Structure 1
Amino acid sequence: MSDRTELKEQLQIGCPAYIEGVGTSYGYIPSFGAGIAYCVLFGLSMILHTIQFTWKRQWWASVFSVGCLVEVIGWAGRTWSAKCPYNGDAFLMQICTLIIAPTFFTAGIYVILGRFIQLLGPESSIIKPKLYLWIFCTCDVISLVIQAIGGGMASGQADKIDGDTAPGTHIMVAGIVFQLFSITIFVFCAIDFINRVVRKRLLQSVNGSVIPLFAAMILSIVCIYIRSIYRTIELSQGWDGYLITHESYFIALDGAMMIVSVAVFNLLHPGWMLPSGKSDSFTMERTSVDRPDKHRGSPTHW
């Protein structure tokens, strides 16, 4: 037993090659190609987002750049693990960052939805715009703290011979289930918002440039929700579960979902498609559509 423990400790330091019959913390050797590909994709998205939010001075949109940076760090950790499959630092680096990263994307979506409510009027939502950011970001922070505590405990035990990862895993699952619950509530609020917008035909009374951004927001929410469901099931199966030990699911249901959820805002950036601040022109345009007789001929309307 002492020889196995000593071997395990030696493998976690430096960059020893894979040894047949000696398992890794992943249950496989991470794909070097996938690691490089996602580092490049998230890196490009980060650069574009940084240029876009700086150009348009939409500083709140920096959350997308920060999220991309955290994703790059996480996938760099997996790329490192592809060459050094036993290195404990590389494993801990990727597991912590890739759990945290989506929170920055959801924060951006909360702001976008709040801006839409400001533009379309209070009748478009059951919650005030600012409350979206406060309520759901608070829930995200709580879930991340729980996941970080559990992840640290579990990863520490995973590197030990016969280490007990169950307590840490249970805490991680509790954190991600709480996150899934909060995102589910947000999804229901978003569905209610969409239903109100469609039923009251609110989008017909505003500039058409926001409609593609509206679709982008929906796509991003769907991708993040799919990823959250996957991670919940994955972690609930434990460190030896089927999903967590088969990388193809992680590449498709975490990496791909996250790059779509953030890259769609490179193509349809809110800094280009939303007014900066509350838009009086939008408000007046909606007023003229809803009550054309009242403002007919008024010079202030034009």
Structure 2
Amino acid sequence: MVKLEDIDPSLLPPNLTPAELENLIAAYYYSCDYVSLTCPVTATTLGYYPNRGINIFLSIGFGVALLATVYHGIRTKTWTYSGFVAAGCALELAGYISRIPLTDNPWNKKAFETQIVAIILAPTLLCISIYLTLKHVCLSLNPDLSRIRPRLYPFIFVPLDISCLTVQAIGGALAAGGAVSNIRLVEHGNRAIIAGIVLQVVVLGGFGGVGGEYLWRVKKWLRTGEAGSEMVGLWNDKKFRRFGYAVSGAYVAILLRCIYRIAEMAGGWGNHIMQDEWSFVVLEGIMVLFACLLLAFFPPGILFPQMAARMAAGKRSDKGDVERQTKTETSTGEQAVVGGGNTLEQSTGTDSEKKTPVSLSVAKKVEVI
């Protein structure tokens, strides 16, 4: 990138302020369409010719993850979870395919803008799929140990994650709007993008803290011996553990990627970190590819059937279960009234026998949520 002090003042219009000079330089470089002596590759935002081989490799990797996700999603009917993972993989695929033309011409604006938008959006969709898992883990192990009602987890973390993305989108719009003639507007947009990424790291950290604390409480509860054989069996199930490790690995990979993004954007567009290709490849491309492959090849439909069963059943099934349960309870009550002496006779017994139907009813309601 050309520095202001390197420009011969005699070649510039007179009486320019420093801000006007910066805007003039930005407008000039925005008009570049290909690499030349007056539009060198070092003046591009990337500052280098992207490696063609690594971008083809990443494109193939995200394509494989996309196909695997779609296959498992259709097969096991985990539409919501698989849909978000597939959308994230598709955006990453589009982003790295768009980087391939940049290997010949880093001034290709359409390719550059496409890869920026796609690569920024994709991890948010992957995060949404991860947020969904905690709800189902809580429902399958012990909902009472969760400090938040399990069904509320997606309603808390998904909007927060989307709000972070919205802040980044606003920043991107400001930066794009000022790219031609207002360098200060670009700087304000950059600050908004950094704020959005920082918020995303905070949300991810909060989710990790809540999830980790819940699992710690479950582990303590299992040691008391109060857990039923079904919960103990699920906790010790190798498939369930593989699913948990895969989701945890994907979570850590995306968190590392977001932390890298903060450092990358902190110096503004075209800073030395942004122009270091291999830090981008490892901490952005490889990290997100690792997350996509884990989520694609360790699907809940195979490793966590309890989650898959709830997702396949959908809201209609849940509603139907509640209605059937209500009808059953109403019918039982009517029979009790009609039964007279028999009802009194059935209601007598030990305290534990009286409490059993209530416990079963509550357990059933929890399972339906």
Q: What is the TM-score normalised by the length of structure 2?
A: 0.69
Is contact 2:123-2:254 (8 Å) kept? yes
1:232 aligns with 2:262: yes
**1:46 aligned to 2:66?**
yes
- Secondary structure of 2:103's match? helix
Equivalent of residue 77 in structure 2, options 48, 57, 69? 57
Alignment of 1:26-175 (within 5 A): 26-60=46-80, 61-158=82-179, 160=180, 163-164=183-184, 165-175=186-196
- In 2, the alpha carbon distance for the partners of 1:168 and 1:140 equals 19
Secondary structure of 1:166 counterpart: helix
Q: Alignment partner for residue 292 of structure 2, among 253, 256, 262?
A: 262
Give the corresponding residue for 2:220: 199
Unaligned residue ranges in structure 2 (runs of 5+)? 1-11, 14-23, 312-355, 357-369
Equivalent position to 2:310, from 277, 280, 287: 277
Deviations 1:139-175 (A, max 9, x none): 11111111011112224444x4783321110111111
2: distance between equivalents of 1:91 and 1:155? 12
Larger Rg: 2
Question: Percent of aligned pairs with the same residue?
Answer: 27
- The structure whose residues are more often helix, as a share, is 2
- Note the alpha carbon deviations across 1:99-136, whole angstroms, 9 max, x for none: 11011111111111211111001134222222211111
Deviations 1:226-264 (A, max 9, x none): 111111122122224332121111111111111111211
3-state SS in 2 of match to 1:193: helix
- For 1:23, the equivalent position in structure 2 comes to 43
Q: 1:196 to 1:102 in 2, by over 3 A?
A: same
Classify 1:124/1:38 alpha carbon distance in 2 versus 1 (closer, same or farther; 3 Å): farther
Aligned residues of 1:216 and 1:268 also touching (Cα < 8 A) = yes
Question: 1:245: which partner in 2?
Answer: 275
How large is the Cα RMSD of the aligned pairs? 2.6
- Are 1:211 and 2:244 counterparts? no
How big is the shift at 1:43?
A: 0.7
CA distance in 2, matches of 1:197, 1:149: 41
Amino acid at match of 1:29: Y
Structure 1 residue corresponding to 2:203, chosen from 175, 182, 189: 182
Tell me, in whole angstroms, the C-alpha distance in 1 between the residues paired with 2:276 and 2:250: 25
Does 2:252 correspond to 1:222? Answer: yes
Asked if structure 2 preserves the Cα contact closer than 8 Å seen for 1:92 and 1:155, the reply is no
Secondary structure of the residue aligned to 1:277 is helix
Deviation, structure 1 residue 27: 2.4
Q: Give the C-alpha shift of residue 198 in structure 1.
A: 2.4
Contact kept? 1:45, 1:263, Cα under 8 Å: yes
1:9-48 Cα shifts (integer Å, max 9, x gaps) = 5533xxx346546511222222222211111100110011
Tell me the distance in 2 between the aligned counterparts of 1:228 and 1:193: 24
> Post-superposition shift, 1:72?
0.8
Report if the CA contact (8 A) 2:29-2:43 is conserved: no
Structure 1 range deviating more: 114-123 or 22-31: 22-31
138-147 or 265-274, which moves further after superposition? 265-274
- What amino acid is the match of 1:31? N
